[in-house]
C-alpha cells in the first residue's frame, strides 16, 4: 500500500495552487519528500489565509482574550464561549462569506448563515439568534441591486427555514464595495455550562464518522478562492461556491444535540472551509492523535470523485464526529431517526499522521500538526506603510466647509440616505419571531434583546462598524466600532461582556492595506481593554479587493454580547410620553469629520475620524448604565450615523411623537445636528425624576444638556417647525425600497 504516485508536482504547481516557493520547500521538509498532487492540494487549502491566518495571527495574538466570564479562549473552539449566569453559557461567533456572495449572492449568503450556525451547535449550543452585517456598492448600480436582493433572499430563505430568528444587523453602501460586497453572518446559541463539546479527537481505535449531507464537487478549493483577489474571471470559480440546504441543517441540528445527550461523543467539528481535511487535521492536532480515513466510504453526490476532490469539497451540512468505541450503534440509531447519512470513515490512531486511503491505495500521508494554525502553518509579519490619504485627511478643517443655508434640506436628504433610512425592506424578509425569544420586534432598542426562557435574564447582541471612520483612521475608527457596540448594548439595558470580530480588509501584501489592518487591531485591543470585553474569536477576511476597483474600506465588524441580569432593566429607544424632557449626555463638539453629512452632502471624501475620547466615552457609558438601572430614564438612544437630528427622529417615530429642542450655540448648527462626534446619548426623562436624574449627572461630572421636550408629533428646532414626524417617517420607511426598485 505504497503512496500513490500521481502527476509530478513542481514549484509551478504549488504557485498555481496559491502556495509560495518557500512554502513548497517547507512542505518537502515536513514530508521528507516531494508531495503528490493530493498532498499539495491539502497544504494549499490548509495554508491558505482563510484557514491558517498566516498574515494575521501574529497581530491577533495581541488582542485581549481573558475575562471573568470567558469559558474558552479565542481559537480554542469552533466559537467563543462566555458564561452568562444561571448556569448558562452563550456560544457566539461572526464569519465572512464575501467572495462566494460576490459571485453567487443567493448561495453565498445562504451557506454563510448555515456555516456559522453549525459552528454554534457543534459545540452543543442551540442557536437562538442570528445577525448580519452587509456592505454593498453604489445603490444605483444594477449589479448592486442584484447582489443585495440575492444576498438578502439567501439569508432569509436559509435562516427562516432553519428556524432561528434574525434579530439584528447593519447595512451600508459605498462605491468601494462595487465589485466586492461584504457578507458577515453572526450566530449565538445557549448551552448549559459544562455540557459543551470540543472539536477534538483522541483515543486509539475510536471511530470517526461523517454525518449529514453527501459530498459533492461544490466548494472545492473554496478556502483558496477566498484567499485571493477578485478578478474579471472570478465567475469561472463558481464551483468554489457551496450550495446550502437549510432543511437538512435543521435535521442535523436536532440529531447533533440528541447525539451529544447520549454521552457517546468525544469531539465534533463542522466541515466548513477545506472540508474533510480541515476537520480531520484540526481535531487530530488538538488531541495529539492521528487518523486513518477511508475516502471511498464517504457518501458522494457525484460518481467517480477523485480523492483530492472528496478531501477538499466544502459541501454544506456535514460534520465530522469522533465517538467512543463500542457506541457506534447509538450514533447510527440517532442519525437514522433523523434520516441523515451517518458513515464510519475511519478511526483514531496514535502518533501524528493522517493517512488517507482510496480503496486500498494510500493517497496522502501527512502530519496533522504540519497543517494547522499553531503548528506547522507558516506565520508572517508583513511590511506596512502609511498611505498618503491619511495625511490628506488630517489636513481637513471644518472652516473650509460652508454651512448650508437650508438645513431642512440636509435633514430630509439624510433621512432618505441608504446608509441611514429604514432597513424595513431588508428585515421584513427575515423571520424575527420564530422561537419567540426576540424581545425587540415591537419595542426597538439599540441592540437586539433575546429572552432566556425560564430565567429572569436576557442577552443583548449587536454588530457594528462604520468603515468610513476606519478608513479615515484605522486605530481610532476601530476603537469607535467597539465603543459604538458597547453604547448599543448599554442603551438596551445590558452590560457589555465580550466580542467576536470579522476583519474584512484588502490584500495583505499591499503595504497600505496591512497598515490599516495593524492599526485597526491596535484600536480594537485598546478599546476592548477599556470596556473589559475580551475577544472570543472571529474571522479574518483578506483579499477583499479587485484589480479594477482596489481594496474595500477596512471593515473590522464587531459583534458584541451583553447580559441583562434582569429583564426589568431592559431599555428601548422610543420616546414614551408628551412632556418628557430630552437630555443629551456627552460632549457637544464642533465636529463634522467623516460624517455622512460631510461625505455625502458636501462630497468631501477625506477627513479624520470623528471626535472620540475613549476615557470620556467609557465614563459616560457607565453613567448611562447607572441611570437605566435606577429607572431614571424612559428611553435611551446613542448618537451615531446622521448625528443628533437622526437620533431624535428615530426616537420619535415608533410612537408618532416629536421633539422641541434648542441647538447649542457654541457649535455650528450643522455640526450640532448632523455631526457624528462620539460618546453621546439621547435620553428622555419623566418630570418626576428630573431632580434625581440631574443630581446623578452632576455627581458623575459628565457633560450634559437639557435639549427640550417630547411633543405630540412635530419637529421643532430653535422654535422653527421642521415638519411632522409622520411625514418624514413615511419617507424614511420607504426610501430604501424605492431606490432598489
Catalytically active residues are 50, 97
Q: Which residue has the cell 448611562?
A: 624
DSSP 577-631: STT-EEEEES---S--TT-HIIIIIS-----PPPP--HHHHHHHHHHHHHHHHTT
Q: Using CA atoms, how far apart are residues 570 and 634, in angstroms rounded to an integer?
A: 10
Q: Using CA atoms, how far apart are residues 323 and 231, in angstroms rounded to an integer?
A: 44
Longest dimension (CA), the chain: 88
Q: Using CA atoms, how far apart are residues 98 and 172, in angstroms rounded to an integer?
A: 14
Range list of H helices, 236-364: 246-262, 275-287, 307-312, 328-337
Structural contact between residues 209 and 330, judged by C-beta atoms closer than 8 angstroms: no
Q: Which residue has the cell 495574538?
A: 61
Q: Using CA atoms, how far apart are residues 518 and 516, in angstroms rounded to an integer?
A: 6
Q: Using CA atoms, how far apart are residues 127 and 400, in angstroms rounded to an integer?
A: 51
- What angle is formed at CA 325 by the lines to CA 322 and CA 329, rounded to 5 degrees? 90
Q: Across-strand partners of 171? A: 134
For residue 514, the surrounding DSSP H or E stretch is helix 511-531
C-alpha cell at 66: 481573558
DSSP letter for 655, please: G
DSSP 187-225: EEEEEETT----S---STT-EEEEEESPB-STTTTHHHH
Burial 47-77 (b: 16+ CB within 10 A, else e): bbbbbbbbbbbebbeebbbebebbbbbbbbb
Which residues, other chains included, contact 591 with Cβ-Cβ below 8 Å and sequence gap of 6+? 398, 610, 611, 671, 675, 676, 677
**Rg (Cα) of the chain, in Å, rounded?**
26
Structural contact between residues 301 and 308, judged by C-beta atoms closer than 8 angstroms: no
C-alpha cell at 410: 440636509
Q: Which residue has the cell 420564530?
A: 434
Phi, psi of 366 (to 5 degrees): -135, 150
Q: DSSP 3-state assignment of 539?
A: strand
Q: Using CA atoms, how far apart are residues 504 and 522, in angstroms rounded to an integer?
A: 15
Which residues, other chains included, contact 16 with Cβ-Cβ below 8 Å and sequence gap of 6+? none
Compute the residue count for the chain: 741
Q: Across-strand partners of 308? A: none
Which residues, other chains included, contact 665 with Cβ-Cβ below 8 Å and sequence gap of 6+? none
Q: DSSP 3-state assignment of 459?
A: strand
Amino acid at each position: 500500500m505504497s503512496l500513490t504516485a500521481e502527476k509530478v508536482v513542481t514549484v509551478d504547481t504549488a504557485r498555481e495552487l496559491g502556495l509560495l516557493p518557500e512554502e513548497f520547500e517547507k512542505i518537502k521538509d515536513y514530508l521528507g519528500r516531494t508531495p503528490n498532487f493530493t498532498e499539495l492540494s491539502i497544504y494549499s487549502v490548509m495554508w491558505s489565509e482563510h484557514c491558517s491566518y498566516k498574515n494575521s495571527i501574529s497581530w491577533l495574538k495581541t488582542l485581549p482574550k481573558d475575562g471573568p466570564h470567558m469559558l474558552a479562549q479565542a481559537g480554542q473552539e469552533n466559537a467563543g464561549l462566555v458564561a452568562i449566569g444561571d448556569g448558562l453559557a452563550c456560544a457566539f461567533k461572526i464569519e465572512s462569506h464575501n467572495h462566494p456572495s460576490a459571485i453567487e449572492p443567493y448561495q453565498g449568503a445562504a451557506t454563510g448563515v448555515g456555516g456559522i450556525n453549525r459552528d454554534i451547535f457543534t459545540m452543543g449550543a442551540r442557536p437562538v439568534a442570528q445577525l448580519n452585517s452587509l456592505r454593498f456598492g453604489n445603490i444605483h448600480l444594477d449589479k448592486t441591486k442584484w447582489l443585495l436582493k440575492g444576498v438578502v433572499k439567501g439569508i432569509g430563505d436559509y435562516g427562516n427555514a432553519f428556524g432561528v430568528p434574525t434579530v439584528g444587523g447593519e447595512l451600508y453602501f459605498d462605491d468601494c464595495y462595487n465589485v466586492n460586497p461584504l457578507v458577515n453572518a453572526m450566530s449565538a446559541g445557549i448551552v448549559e455550562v459544562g455540557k459543551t463539546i470540543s472539536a477534538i479527537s483522541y483515543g486509539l481505535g475510536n471511530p470517526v464518522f461523517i454525518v449529514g449531507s453527501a459530498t459533492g464537487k461544490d466548494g472545492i478549493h473554496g478556502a483558496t478562492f477566498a484567499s485571493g483577489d477578485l478578478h474579471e474571471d472570478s465567475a469561472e470559480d463558481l464551483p468554489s461556491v457551496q450550495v446550502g440546504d437549510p432543511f437538512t441543517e435543521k435535521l442535523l441540528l436536532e440529531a447533533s444535540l440528541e447525539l451529544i445527550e447520549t454521552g457517546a461523543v468525544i469531539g465534533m467539528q463542522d466541515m466548513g472551509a477545506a472540508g474533510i481535511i480541515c476537520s480531520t487535521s484540526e481535531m487530530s492536532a488538538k488531541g495529539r492523535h492521528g487518523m486513518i480515513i477511508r475516502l471511498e466510504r464517504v457518501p458522494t453526490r457525484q460518481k467517480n470523485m477523485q480523492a483530492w476532490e472528496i478531501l477538499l469539497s466544502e459541501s454544506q451540512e456535514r460534520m465530522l464526529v469522533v465517538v467512543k468505541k463500542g457506541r457506534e450503534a447509538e450514533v447510527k440509531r440517532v442519525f437514522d431517526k433523523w434520516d441523515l447519512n451517518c458513515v464510519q470513515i475511519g478511526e483514531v490512531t496514535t502518533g501524528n499522521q493522517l493517512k488517507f486511503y482510496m480503496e486500498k491505495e494510500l493517497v496522502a500521508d501527512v502530519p496533522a500538526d504540519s497543517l494547522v494554525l499553531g503548528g506547522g502553518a507558516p506565520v508572517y509579519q508583513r511590511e506596512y506603510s502609511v498611505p498618503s490619504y491619511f495625511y490628506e485627511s488630517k489636513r481637513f478643517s471644518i472652516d473650509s466647509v460652508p454651512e448650508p443655508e437650508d438645513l431642512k434640506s440636509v435633514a430630509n436628504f439624510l433621512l432618505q440616505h441608504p446608509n441611514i433610512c429604514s432597513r424595513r425592506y431588508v428585515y421584513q424578509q427575515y423571520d424575527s419571531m420564530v422561537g419567540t425569544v426576540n424581545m425587540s420586534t415591537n419595542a426597538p432598542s439599540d441592540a437586539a434583546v433575546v429572552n432566556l426562557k425560564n430565567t429572569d435574564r436576557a442577552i443583548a447582541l449587536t454588530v457594528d462598524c462604520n468603515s468610513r471612520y476606519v478608513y479615515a483612521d484605522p486605530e481610532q475608527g476601530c476603537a469607535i466600532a467597539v465603543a459604538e457596540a458597547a453604547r448599543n448594548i448599554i442603551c438596551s439595558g445590558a452590560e457589555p461582556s465580550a466580542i467576536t470580530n470579522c476583519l474584512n480588509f484588502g490584500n495583505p501584501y499591499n503595504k497600505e492595506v496591512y497598515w490599516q489592518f495593524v492599526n485597526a487591531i491596535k484600536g480594537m485591543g485598546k478599546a476592548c481593554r477599556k470596556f473589559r470585553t475580551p475577544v472570543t474569536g472571529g474571522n479574518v477576511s483578506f483579499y477583499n479587493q479587485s484589480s479594477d476597483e482596489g481594496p474595500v474600506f477596512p471593515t473590522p465588524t464587531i459583534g458584541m454580547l451583553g447580559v441583562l441580569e434582569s429583564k426589568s432593566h431592559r431599555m428601548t429607544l422610543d420616546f414614551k410620553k408628551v412632556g418628557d424632557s430630552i437630555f443629551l449626555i456627552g460632549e457637544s463638539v464642533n465636529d463634522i469629520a467623516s460624517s455622512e453629512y460631510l461625505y455625502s452632502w458636501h462630497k468631501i471624501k477625506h477627513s479624520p475620524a470623528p471626535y472620540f475620547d475613549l476615557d470620556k466615552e467609557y465614563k459616560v457609558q457607565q453613567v448611562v448604565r447607572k441611570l437605566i438601572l435606577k429607572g431614571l430614564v424612559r428611553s435611551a438612544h446613542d448618537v451615531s450615523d446622521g448625528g443628533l437630528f437622526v437620533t431624535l427622529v428615530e426616537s420619535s417615530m415608533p410612537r408618532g411623537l416629536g421633539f422641541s429642542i434648542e441647538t447649542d450655540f457654541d457649535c455650528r448648527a450643522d455640526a450640532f445636528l448632523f455631526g457624528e462626534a462620539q460618546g453621546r446619548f439621547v435620553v428622555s426623562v419623566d418630570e418626576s425624576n428630573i431632580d434625581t436624574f440631574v443630581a446623578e449627572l452632576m455627581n458623575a461630572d459628565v457633560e450634559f444638556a437639557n435639549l427640550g421636550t417630547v411633543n405630540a408629533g412635530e419637529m421643532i428646532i430653535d422654535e422653527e417647525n421642521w415638519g411632522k414626524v409622520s411625514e418624514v417617517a413615511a419617507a424614511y420607511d420607504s426610501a430604501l425600497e424605492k431606490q432598489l426598485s
